[in-house]
Amino acid sequence: MRYSLWSLLGNAIGGHERWPRAWRSPEPKRFYDVVIVGGGGHGLATAYYLARNHGITDVAVLERGPIGLGNTGRNTTVVRSNYLCDDSAHLYEHALKLWENLSHELNFNTMFSQRGVVNLAFTRHELAEMERRAGAMRLNGIDCELLTVADLKRWIPILDTRDTARHPLLGGLVQRRGGNARHDAIAWGYARAANALGVDIIENCAVTGIRQHGGRVVGVDTSRGHIAAGRVGVAVAGHCSVVMGLAGVKLPIQSFPLQALVSEPVKPVLHTVVMAGHVHVYLSQSDKGELVIGAARDNYVSYAQRGSFHLIEEQLRALLGLFPVFSRLRMMRQWAGIVDCAPDASPIIGKTPVANLYVNCGWGTGGFKATPGSGWVFAHTIVNDEPHPLNRNFTLERFHTGRLVDEAAAAGVAH
């Protein structure tokens, strides 16, 4: 059933009893052309674009629990493409363009709100880096504007712009096309749309083994039996080392806890996304009214989905440095995800030493915004057995050649 105001009206009359399932819950078949391991946003988007862009519909997405509850359902939903390196800029900008039409594409309101993403600078060094990033963005055709302190004060009146602050603000950079989206809607929207194209979404199906024959992947063992597959794509974020380990593939990835928190809901006070890498503040206000605040990540490997409490404290100290008026608001909920971090803080999307086995990982703290683009290029990579032009520099080989995509080093960009 197509979602629209009319279907909503029609169902309202019927007491909402005729809405169908958003996606089927099929038993797994014994063979699929392509098996995607991981039912987060990236895996579901990959399945969707396999069907939509390449006509490959004999696809299963295997998820060990319910879909969309890993990093997709835990992130702070910032979408932007304000990257310095060309490789990153092109990939994220492609994703951003897909975001702009995604609700229509999926017939599911992803609530993508282009409320702008503002980065703040506190040192002259950061200003120069911002100038560099803005320059690179413009020449890549990505919108951006440099902002003065006065611009910032006008735009975000509750920002503390006094030069007596411990870290006085010097300027900012805004990407107006950036913003927020609804995280759950991405998982559900892609799942529903992929399902409509014939993709099997199989929840509560944990992959326990990856079978190979003659250096080639032939299927996966799961908690629901063996599933043979022509090709296997792995998109499991924090668990990528574990799943790829089943195939004997070691990755340059470490999984770290990343925390976030929300305040109690209040009436609108902040209409844009604010990111301040220097003082580690990342926040926006959700449509429901909560301040959605990202904290720093811990630096130890963890699969526990819990982080160190002192990082929350440090985050909120820094937050009050920028927004003293939030002091009396209250933290309502805090949580953590497991983020898969590559040494250069850029993703790995490509082939592996095992034929017909592909990996999509290393998104670290910034994978949500890439979801549509990631699925797009990963589907392409799986179908063609070679990377899409957008991900040709995001392969595993770069860790041998030294051709890193070092966004973190190059711009001090906090993801």
Partner 1 sequence: MSQHFRLPAGGVIARNEPLAFAFNGRRYQGFRGDTLASALLANGVHLVARSFKYHRPRGIVGSGSEEPNAMVRVGTGARVIPNAVATTVELYEGLRAESINCWPSVEFDLGALGNVLSALLPAGFYYKTFMWPNRAWMAYEYFIRRAAGLGRAPYAPDPDRYEKRFEHCDVLVIGGGPAGIAAAGAASESGARVILADENPAPGGQLLYSEERVEGLAAREWCENGIRELRARDEVRVLTRATATGYYDHNLVCLLERVTDHLGEPPARLPRQRLWKVRARQVIVATGAIERMIAFADNDTPGVMLAGAARRYLGQYAVRPGSRAVVFTNNDSGYDCAAALAASGVRVAAVVDPRPTGAAAARAAGRGIRVLDGCAVIAARGGTRVASVLAAPVSADGARIIGTTEELACDVVAVSGGWDPAVHLYSQSGGRLAFDGVQQCFVPGPAVQATSAAGAANGAFHTEECIAQARIAGLAAARHCVDPSAVGPVAPRRTPLAVTPLWEAPAHARRAKKFVDLQSDVTAADIALAAREGYVAVEHAKRYTTTGMNTDQGKTGNVVAYGILARVTGRTIPEVGTTTFRPPYTPVTIGALAGREIGGALDPLRRTPMSDWHVAAGAVFEPVGLWRRPLYYPRAGEDMSAAVERECLAVRQRVGILDASTLGKIDIQGPDAVVLLDRVYTNAWDDLAVGRCRYGLMLREDGMVFDDGVTSRLGERHYLMTTTSGGADGVLGWLEDWLQCEWRDLRAHLTPVTANWATVNVAGPRARDVLARLESTIDLSAAALPHMGVSAGSLMGVPARIARVSFTGELSFEVNVPARYGLALWEALTAAGAEFGITPLGTEALHVLRAEKGYIAIGHETDGTVTPLDLGMNWLVSGAKADFLGKRSLARSDTARAGRKQLVGLLTLDPQTQVPEGSPIVSAANAGRVGRPPVPVIGHVSSSYMSPALRHSIALALIEDGRNRLAEEVAVVCRGKPVRARITSPRFYDPKGERLHG
Partner 2 sequence: MLLIPCPWCGARPDSEFASGGEAHIVRPPQPDAVSDEQWGRYLFFRENVKGVQRERWMHAQGCRRWFNVVRDTVTHEIKAAYAMGEPPPQAHR
Using CB under 8 A as the binding rule, the residues of this chain from 157 to 196 that contact partner 1 are: 158, 165-168, 182, 184-185, 188-189
CA distance 356 to 217: 6
308 binds partner 2 (CB under 8 A): yes
29, 53, 124, 385: which one binds partner 1 (CB under 8 A)? 124
List the one residue out of 386, 339, 338 whose CA is nearest residue 358: 386
In the complex with partner 2, which residue's Cβ is closer, 59 or 318? 318
71, 77, 195, 302: which one binds partner 2 (CB under 8 A)? 302
40 token code pair: 């987060």
Residue 241 contact among partner 1, partner 2, none, beta carbon within 5 to 8 Å by kind: partner 2
- Pick the stretch among 211-219, 235-243, 320-328, 357-365 that binds partner 1 (CB under 8 A): 320-328
CA distances (Å), 309 to each of 299, 306, 316, 324, in order?
13, 9, 11, 21
Scan residues 371-390 and list those touching partner 1 (CB under 8 A). none
CA distance 233 to 228: 13
List the one residue out of 202, 155, 199, 146 whose CA is nearest residue 174: 146
In the complex with partner 2, which residue's Cβ is closer, 9 or 304? 304
91 binds partner 1 (CB under 8 A): no
Residue 251 contact among partner 2, partner 1, none, beta carbon within 5 to 8 Å by kind: partner 2
- Pick the stretch among 94-102, 129-137, 306-314, 384-392 that binds partner 2 (CB under 8 A): 306-314
7 binds partner 1 (CB under 8 A): yes
131, 176, 228, 252: which one binds partner 2 (CB under 8 A)? 252
130 binds partner 1 (CB under 8 A): yes
* Identity at 338, one-letter amino acid code: I
CA distances (Å), 312 to each of 171, 248, 276, 281, 335, in order?
26, 37, 16, 11, 10
300, 324, 333, 386: which one binds partner 2 (CB under 8 A)? 300
- Ordered DSSP codes for 77-143: -EE----SSHHHHHHHHHHHHHHHTHHHHHTS----B---EEEEE-SHHHHHHHHHHHHHHHHTT--
| Contacts for 58 with CB less than 8 Å, ≥ 6 apart | 32, 33, 34, 198
CA distance 321 to 325: 10
Residues touching partner 1: how many (CB under 8 A)? 112
Q: How far, in whole angstroms, is CA 290 from its chain's centroid?
A: 20
77, 114, 255, 393: which one binds partner 2 (CB under 8 A)? 255
301 binds partner 1 (CB under 8 A): no
Give least dist CB 314 to partner 2, A. 9
The DSSP 8-state label assigned to residue 307 in this structure reads -
List the one residue out of 141, 162, 134 whose CA is nearest residue 150: 162
Scan residues 326-385 and list those touching partner 2 (CB under 8 A). 343
Residue 327 contact among partner 1, partner 2, none, beta carbon within 5 to 8 Å by kind: partner 1
Give least dist CB 395 to partner 1, A. 12
22 binds partner 1 (CB under 8 A): yes
DSSP reduced 3-state for 376: helix
Point out which residues bind partner 2 (CB under 8 A).
Answer: 239, 241-242, 250-255, 298-304, 306, 308-310, 343, 399-402
